[in-house]
Homo-oligomer: A and B are copies of this chain.
Amino acid sequence: MPKEEFKVTPWEVKGEIDYDRLVEKFGTSHITPELLSRMPGADENLFLRRGIFYSHRDLDWLLDNYRRGRHFYLYTGRGPSSSTHLGHMIPWIFTRQLQVMFDAKLYFQMTDDEKFLFKDQLTLEDTSRATYDNMLDIIAVGFDPSKTKIIVDTRDIKSLYTIALRVAKRVTFSTAKAVFGFNNSTNIGSIFYTAIQSAPAFIESEMEGTNVPCLIPCGIDQDPHFRVTRDVAPALGYYKPALIHGKMLPGLSGGKMSSTGDAALYTTDSDAQIRKKIMNAFTGGRSTVEEQRKLGANPDICPVFHHYEFLLEPDDSKLKKTYADCRSGALLCGECKLNLLSKVLPFMQKHRDNREKAKERLDEFMFRSGDD
């Protein structure tokens, strides 16, 4: 049964996403069980085991090299336009796990320039504030400071710019138009921007003076940028970065977790706000208790269930039971929401504690070029 029309670009996610069709449309590959078996500890990894991170480019090549003793580095990023919500944190938590799994260095790019260019109403002061705010959440996720460097585009532009120029010289407006859907009224900064997002995929090679493989964990909506990056890499003498793509945590009102409104759980929300958002969440339930007891509900379309699945219920058998009890009508939405709340609140409390400590730790994580 074909799902309704959907749209996934780095700046817009609309409709109910068919993730299999996206693999086809973007030309990426599914992560096969065989490939999974070659990742150390994949079984214990919720995101891999459950197919939250489900698609890739050249991960096989990367793992072949890794087995031969060839280390790679990780690169991911965040467009700082607002506070951080749970949906943002999924790929960061996964990236931290990859850092441990492969003992890998990480560049974390804060694309404040992107957000300024693409969001009409944002000033550079806004993106600067959001950058600081978001960095606290990133650090709170637990990255290893000795192996993690946060790049802030406007702050560290000097280390990115010449790489970006070399990328930009090989990308025509035609290509940018086709990949990102730009038109005549797109501003010239937005048109150039993808070159800046490409740069960290090559920065380690530049700094080391020799090619270093790179793995980019990201939401699949970011793939278009890295398709461009990968296309130009050989001509610039670099490896193409490998990618591992995640699904997007659906918002509590359904759809991709939106950055605005009540649909998302922000790390800056109070317990009371979180409670209210969860208790008001859209679910896959029936209109009456009687009906639900009789016919059961639908966890497949339920964001409350997805919150368990994506992050908050690490125990597969418990998740399976929740799914079955929802289907059978044994579990009602109110009870299920309270159960989620009992998992979310301690998670958020711990994160808030780490976030507070992060305020003293920013300096440990900041990227330093040779010039600084």
Chain A residues in the interface with B (C-beta under 8 A):
113, 116-117, 124, 154-155, 157-158, 161-162, 164-166, 168-174, 176-177, 182-192, 194-195
Known A158-B158, A165-B154; judge A172-B195 contact (CB<8 A).
no
Closest 10 CB pairs of A and B: A168-B189, A192-B192, A174-B184, A157-B161, A171-B188, A168-B188, A172-B185, A188-B192, A188-B191, A158-B158
Contact B165 A124 (CB under 8 A): yes
**Nearest Cβ on chain B to A79's Cβ, whole angstroms:** 14
Known A158-B157, A158-B158, A184-B177; judge A189-B172 contact (CB<8 A).
no
A187 to B195, CA, bound (A): 11
A67 to B165, CA, bound (A): 43
Contact A195 B189 (CB under 8 A): yes
By beta carbon, the residue of chain B nearest A168 is B189
Q: 29 A–B contact pairs at CB < 8 A?
A: A116-B165, A116-B169, A117-B168, A124-B165, A154-B161, A154-B165, A155-B158, A157-B157, A157-B161, A158-B158, A164-B189, A168-B187, A169-B187, A171-B189, A172-B184, A172-B186, A172-B187, A172-B188, A173-B173, A173-B184, A173-B185, A173-B187, A173-B188, A173-B191, A188-B192, A188-B195, A189-B195, A191-B192, A192-B192
By beta carbon, the residue of chain B nearest A189 is B168
A154 to B165, CA, bound (A): 9
Contact B187 A171 (CB under 8 A): yes
Q: With a CB–CB cut-off of 8 A, which chain B residues contact A177?
A: 184
A182 to B183, CA, bound (A): 13
By beta carbon, the residue of chain B nearest A160 is B157
By beta carbon, the residue of chain B nearest A128 is B162
By beta carbon, the residue of chain B nearest A118 is B169
Q: With a CB–CB cut-off of 8 A, which chain B residues contact A190?
A: 168
Q: With a CB–CB cut-off of 8 A, which chain B residues contact A155?
A: 158
By beta carbon, the residue of chain B nearest A194 is B188
**Nearest Cβ on chain B to A155's Cβ, whole angstroms:** 8
